[in-house]
Structure 1
Amino acid sequence: MYFYKSILGSVLILSAGAVHAQASSFNGAFGQLGIGYEQSSPSSVSSSAAFNGYAIPANSSMGNSSYLIGTGSVGYYADIAKGYLLGVGAEYTLGGSAQNYTESGSIRGTTYSSGNYYYQKNYSYNIFLSPAMVVGTNGLAYLKVGYSGAQYKQFTSLSSNYTGYSLGLGYKQIISGGLYGFGEVNYANYGNQTVSTSARVNTGATGTGAVDTLTASGTNGMSTLNFLVGVGYKF
């Protein structure tokens, strides 16, 4: 009986040791806040315009927009093998600045150009999976692969909702207890969206000082790249 008790005790001790060896500092739930810098890069797929209902040649010119952002994230990491974890999380990001762009074309030999349009990011969200690898005793290198969405205000008041995929790369380091610092880079690529607007403008097409109706429509893609630093807590 003593022999079996000794074997059982040894197995329990070894099992507890194995579990302890596999558990990392980041196993469990976490929450974090970050600040950073982001760039939105639109791509013009197509654009069209009409003058008093008649289609006219149109060109759209949209530049990149750069701005500060703030983001909040929550998630959970679980050990899947010694030194490796798999996480799941969600994040929400605010920040953006207005970027003007133009619609231009030619009506009966008269060139028009309007710079009254702009686009601006309102917010974005991201739901992701995160495979990770333990670095040293208190570090974690990780990847992020996710589904992302973003809302942009375009023209003067219209909003467009974009969805697409996201990729990220980052590193976390325990500072004290459950408190840690992190840095990461994230890329998101969104699908195409079409928005339209109309305005009364002076084109000079039907006489000097004439005010005519111009309608414009644009189909654009969007991608973002950001760099973040911040702090978090592993519960």
Structure 2
Amino acid sequence: MPFDPSRVDCWIFDLDNTLYPPSTRLFDQIDQRMGEYIQNLLGCDPVEARRVQKLYFHDHGTTLSGLMHYHAIDPYEFLGFVHDIDMAPLGAAPRLAGRLAALPGRKLVFTNGDDAYAARVLGALGLADSFDGMWDIHAMNYRPKPEISAYSSMIEALAITPETAVFVEDMAQNLAPAKALGMQTIWLDLATDWGDRAKDDAAIDLVAGDFVQWLDYTLASLADQGTLG
């Protein structure tokens, strides 16, 4: 079924490389900090730290989950360390804020990061007041997307009706659980290294190559259907 924005009353957005473009290379800074954390934790060299980091990411959904599983680390300490980065690559996006404000219904952030980091990102983008709620890694009880519990717990806690929700995400593998639970799904195909990993075409209602252009398309469709206030 093609994407139908008129059915949506809850807009759920991933954070990293979704609300801002990969060209900011913000995650490169986080990636480097993760490597430094693992080197310090295990006393290993950068090559081994990189291997461990990516192994845990692929096997557990996030590097954090793997580290908690094998090394019982403190998630708050880890997240504070790896998210201690420079937000200067991000700039205020008033036009994006305007588009988000024009969407009818609730707007939520659904991120494998933590709320403190997400708040810094949204603040740097000028989007601090653009969302009605957030579901982060702490709320997920450290079982990240694409773990089905991350989605089902959010649906229950935030009183979301999946059939009238849409999830927008740059990591294709994170869309399948949302689709299975009844949401519409949008994949932002941004040609990143891991964006198409474990992609399931049947779990994707629409592929978009640019977030702002997709918002423009969506708002125009709602206007044409007479459902935009």
Normalised-by-shorter TM-score class: under 0.3
Look at both structures and tell me which one has the larger radius of gyration over its CA atoms.
1
Comparing both structures, which one devotes a greater share of its residues to helix?
2
